[in-house]
Structure 1
Amino acid sequence: MKSFRLPVLFTIFLTLSLFSCQPKGDKAPGSKYFSDWPEGASPEEVGKKLSENFLARKFHFQEGRFGRLVYPEVCAWYGALEVAHLTDDAALREKLIRHYDLFLTPEGSKYIVERAHVDYRVAGVVPLEIYIQTKDEKYLNDGIRWADAQWDEPTEDGITKEARYWVDDIYMISSLQVEAYRATGELKYLERAALTTATYLDKLQEPNGLFHHAEDSPFFWGRGNGWYAAGMAELLSELPEDNQYYDRVMSGYLTMMESLLKYQSEEGLWRQLVDKEESWLETSGTGMFAFAMVTGVKNGWLEADVYGPAARKAWLALVSRIDEEGNVQDVCVGTNKAFKEVGPDLDKQLEFYIGRDRDTGDLHGQAPVLWTAMALLK
């Protein structure tokens, strides 16, 4: 009897142990909203399609535009690298890494601008992400210098002198400093991002949770708000709860997410000006809001049964705006703050934002769709 019972009990114990160790992805917050995608709408498929679209492009400077690596290229590249990693697509990942070889040469390095500006410093995100995935020191050395240079001669309140107090800034600063933390484990990088994000919250966030483009351009521009939402989501993904700025940043994030729920269209997209019904439905801001919501649901910051459906609706609406070549449609073109373009007259500023051109395939739109795919895959 003993020789029969022991193996049976052992088998039962082993079976239960193996079962308890199985991945619990189907029990993760919001999982019921982030699965069972229609054909062609899974984050794996969409992420691969947009990553290949990115690789097929020349850099803008190779086409005679801008003369440098620009931040939309960096942002899309980062998303593609994460998608390749999360889908365990070694071939795609290798292509994306080799894409950076040009900038490790004396000639190619000239196209990364040595200038104290958030839009240029963010270039460090790509080599830092490559280092995180490969542990090749040359990428760490190439990326960390940008994160450290961003804090050369900080202001009296301890933030980067590159701060302009435009809502766009926070993603550029947070993404770089958070990637530096992920690469090195040094808390000073998180502290920098957290301090800056909290400072901007106190200065720019309105009572409804949204952000004007800048103090002299008081409109809730979609992508501008998207930059802030995405920057907070990246920061909160790493920021310890005992950090002195955690509660301030989390409060700002939650207030913003609650407000965004009220303005999402029936189709699932948000508008060029978030609170203006007469404004057109726009994809880059939507992609950033979707990324922030998916990240929040998966981390348990947001109520899954409230924000999960909103994020799913946004994702499916975005997928419906992607053409056969992997180009995202209805992307607002690059946009300066209205004050700089049309002056202080608020009627003219309103016309300026609503009248911005819509583009297809603009990397301002490709990048946040890749980030949302990345968030869904985590």
Structure 2
Amino acid sequence: MKKITALILVTTTYLNVAYAQTDLDQWPLKKSPEEIGRKIAWHFIETPHPNFGKDTPPKVITYPESCTWYGALMFAGESGDEKLIKALAERFEPLFSSKTSMIPVPDHVDYAVFGSVPLELYRLTDQQRYYDLGIRIADKQWGPPEGPRVTPESHKFYEMGLTWQTRLWIDDMYMITALQAQAYRVTANETYINRAAKEMVFYLDELQKPNGLFYHAPDVPFFWGRGNGWMAAGMAELLRSLPKKNPYYKRIMEGYQLMMSSLLKHQSEEGTWRQLINDDASWPETSSTGMFAYAMITGVKNGWLDKTIYGPAARKAWLALISYIDDNDDIQNVCEGTNKKNNRQYYLDRKRITGDMHGQAPILWCAAAFLRD
């Protein structure tokens, strides 16, 4: 009898441990997505418009702030926190009055992604002015090339049916898809999601390597962490709204699943990914870790990825990620803003920033994704 009791106890303990390692709903005290997401979102509201690396405030809303704002709104909606939604809307209010000049001109992917913020506010509040602003930016992204940033290539891409803002940096695949997917969500007009899907396939064909990862750009043969993170998060963001009947769906899903399988092989024992994903000499980087976690959480939740394999990886990534949050609710070990350069040492030497919105944003995306059905 004692042996049977001991066996039952061991088996029960094993099952409980296994459950804890794979479950995406049960969390240790003060480590749940709802608790962490709420802290990071309120910290964002209390933070003035950031301009990391510079001593002066930005002249316009920067893309890291846009992505963090969008994440805070997603989290507020998924958690049903009306007080938080109201506070995030109040933060936006001066952009309709005293600070209209801070709305970026959408003539570049880094500026156009701002449109995802008013579109999410429209989804949450049903206020027409948010819709009008966001849709205008989404349409501008695919409109005829216009403004000082237009190049000969802009016209070439426009004639191909792509956005004239195409530049074949993997960062683009979040900036473009987040905006166009949002436009589709609020209009149900498949023109928007078709745009994003066609663009994504173009980038997959041009930049994804046989190992599933992506060079930063065609002339930069390095698997930079956050760049790949933008791609991973962008595919997840697109696929969660892309109709399965869409002619691009299969190709994008294949690219996404190939990338996820490769990322599994490069996740550290701690749960993080590195500044250069496949380079053991590089350091654990949190913005990419959050973005990869978001892509995996979304895949598990939607049944695109095997829960028994990717559930533990996503959980491990989340617990590792939040261990880098300091007492001020700022995430540490965020790669500073990065241009592209065909030089390995350039990427290894990038500064590690604390509190940069590049790192705050994916924490909120993850928290929202965990709360989705």
Same fold (TM over 0.5): yes
Letter in structure 1 aligned against 2:59: G
In 1, Cα distance between equivalents of 2:116 and 2:357: 16
Letter in structure 1 aligned against 2:130: Y
SS in 2 for 1:371: helix
Give 1:1-378 correspondences, 5 Å limit: 33-60=23-50, 64-105=56-97, 107-153=98-144, 155-339=158-342, 349-378=343-372
In 2, Cα distance between equivalents of 1:307 and 1:286: 14
In 1, Cα distance between equivalents of 2:161 and 2:132: 24
SS in 1 for 2:142: coil
Q: Give the C-alpha shift of residue 64 in structure 1.
A: 2.3
Q: Give the C-alpha shift of residue 60 in structure 1.
A: 2.9
Letter in structure 2 aligned against 1:213: H
Q: Give the C-alpha shift of residue 88 in structure 1.
A: 1.5
* Unaligned residue ranges in structure 2 (runs of 5+): 1-19, 145-156
Deviations 1:136-188 (A, max 9, x none): 10100011101000001262221001000000000000000000011111110
**Alignment CA distance shift 1:32-1:267 (3 Å):** closer
Letter in structure 1 aligned against 2:370: L
In 1, Cα distance between equivalents of 2:262 and 2:307: 16
Deviations 1:200-240 (A, max 9, x none): 00001001010000111110000000000000001000111
Q: CA RMSD in A?
A: 1.6
In 1, Cα distance between equivalents of 2:100 and 2:140: 16
In 2, Cα distance between equivalents of 1:40 and 1:338: 40
**Alignment CA distance shift 1:350-1:111 (3 Å):** same
In 2, Cα distance between equivalents of 1:189 and 1:302: 26
Q: Give the C-alpha shift of residue 288 in structure 1.
A: 0.3
Q: Give the C-alpha shift of residue 84 in structure 1.
A: 1.2
Letter in structure 2 aligned against 1:172: M
- Is the 8 Å Cα contact of residues 106 and 140 (structure 2) preserved in structure 1? no
In 2, Cα distance between equivalents of 1:33 and 1:203: 36
Letter in structure 2 aligned against 1:268: G
In 1, Cα distance between equivalents of 2:220 and 2:163: 22
Letter in structure 2 aligned against 1:143: G
- Is the 8 Å Cα contact of residues 180 and 196 (structure 2) preserved in structure 1? yes
Q: Which has the larger radius of gyration?
A: 1
Letter in structure 2 aligned against 1:240: P
2:147 — aligned with what? none
In 2, Cα distance between equivalents of 1:32 and 1:204: 32
In 1, Cα distance between equivalents of 2:21 and 2:85: 26
Letter in structure 2 aligned against 1:371: W
In 1, Cα distance between equivalents of 2:26 and 2:175: 33
- Is the 8 Å Cα contact of residues 49 and 58 (structure 2) preserved in structure 1? no
Q: Give the C-alpha shift of residue 52 in structure 1.
A: 0.9
In 2, Cα distance between equivalents of 1:323 and 1:202: 40
In 2, Cα distance between equivalents of 1:363 and 1:320: 17
Q: Give the C-alpha shift of residue 116 in structure 1.
A: 1.2
- Is the 8 Å Cα contact of residues 60 and 67 (structure 1) preserved in structure 2? no
- Is the 8 Å Cα contact of residues 22 and 315 (structure 2) preserved in structure 1? no
SS in 2 for 1:99: helix
Q: Give the C-alpha shift of residue 104 in structure 1.
A: 1.0
In 2, Cα distance between equivalents of 1:325 and 1:83: 20
In 2, Cα distance between equivalents of 1:289 and 1:214: 19
Deviations 1:10-56 (A, max 9, x none): xxxxxxxxxxxxxxxxxxxx995202211111000000010011011
Deviations 1:94-116 (A, max 9, x none): 000111011112x4121122241
- Is the 8 Å Cα contact of residues 115 and 137 (structure 2) preserved in structure 1? yes
Letter in structure 2 aligned against 1:146: I
